[in-house]
Structure 1
Amino acid sequence: MKLIIGNKAYSSWSMRGWLACKQSGLSFEELTVPLFGEDWDEVRESENFAPSGGKVPILWDGETVIWDSLAIIDWLADKTHRDRFWPKDESARGMARSMAAEMHSSFMALRKQCPMNTRKRYEGLQFTPEVLQDAARIMELWAQARARFGGGGPFLFGTYGAVDIMYAPVVSRFQTYGLQVPSFAATYMDTMLQHDWMVQWMEAAEEEPWVIERLEQPETAKG
């Protein structure tokens, strides 16, 4: 398998695809393509990118191409064992799928105003009501998952799985922008940030030479 990703410092969806590949336990080749670089337009039109419409991440599995992080998670779950990614309990699995889907389709204010940048740390920022509303909804989801199904371990549904993968970039964003969270969420974030794969991703991001200037001082940080 070959996984094509963008810059680790900035590409939240790439983080999800990469974590999914790590969770699968399958061997894969990793190819990083710098976002918005001088050759970006040419690269997007290449054979490797064509099926995805020029977006990352992209997983090539033989002649099969899978794009979009949630699709990659499901593809890898089918290839390995679904219990690697989704809870065994039916009720827990239903909630986990709903949380993953909500992350996939929602929280636009948080995404736009607080873009992922693993190399930055801000303090004392003022957030719009829309960002705070997104953060509050995420806290509500995390609290429900932990209270109802988190008894078997420190992750949202006890053991590490697809939902933790989908919310991993949110953990990174909350750390970058200094969003205040309740103690249970801070504990969960610490668990995620200390996970070996997150540490590997963050360390690799620090070593990247590429800088996207417009993401170095986002609108939220200017306020």
Structure 2
Amino acid sequence: MARKFFVGGNFKMNGTKESIKTIVKGLNEAQLDSNVEVVIAPPAIYLHLAQSELKKPGIEVSAQNVYDKPNGAYTGEISVSQLKDSGVNWTILGHSERRTLLGETDEVVASKTKFAVDGGVSVIWCCGESLQERESGNTVAVVERQLAALAAKLSTDDWKKVVIAYEPIWAIGTGKVATVEQAQEVHEAIRKWLKANVSDAVAEETRILYGGSVNGKNCKDLAKEKDIDGFLVGGASLKPEFVDIINSNL
């Protein structure tokens, strides 16, 4: 089966009411490839604003994080049920900034992912290696470790609500990008791991995105690779070139 191309925009801790409106206005007015699923993730305080401003069919909003408890004394956290109550059907989990800056382990990320999926929220689940891990030849081992923690929590059916984003940590916000060959190699390894450890169907159907300084110049070459099913975009999602990235599979 053909996997539908997917482009996510992670705004991170960036934006104001006016800049969010400007970004969404640009998307509303752009000629976008109708065969691409687009999800934008503004800061939580602007989720409702982005929803209310979006007019273009086929674009959804995503949270950047969610907690793995239903409710309670968890100051600063947002629950899955609160996302659903607000009409938010996506969240990003496991981003390297959450892992490295806030100490989220593979197991914590997996637990959050399972909780989100069970609550009806789809997940852009991130994985990737540090520069030291890449230079020591451990890229695939690191990604497989992260995948194993996730697979231990999910049922085969749960994977239908998961999109994987491979993001080499050394390429996030640095301007450095994995070569097309490096990216495809890891994407292929992820798909082989899913085939061997989950199921043939999950390996075939799960979309695997590339993230890490994706921009309007490098996106078309990356999009041509058979195991790259789209992008999770950081800084460039705040700029007009985000439209070019969405249309990179044309």
Same fold (TM over 0.5): no
Q: Would you tell me which structure has more helix in proportion to its own residues?
A: 1
Q: Which structure is richer in relative contact order (CA contacts within 8 A, separation 6 or more)?
A: 1
TM bracket, shorter-chain basis: 0.3 to 0.5
Bigger fraction of residues in strand: 2
Q: Tell me the TM-score normalized by structure 1.
A: 0.34
TM-score (normalised: structure 2): 0.31
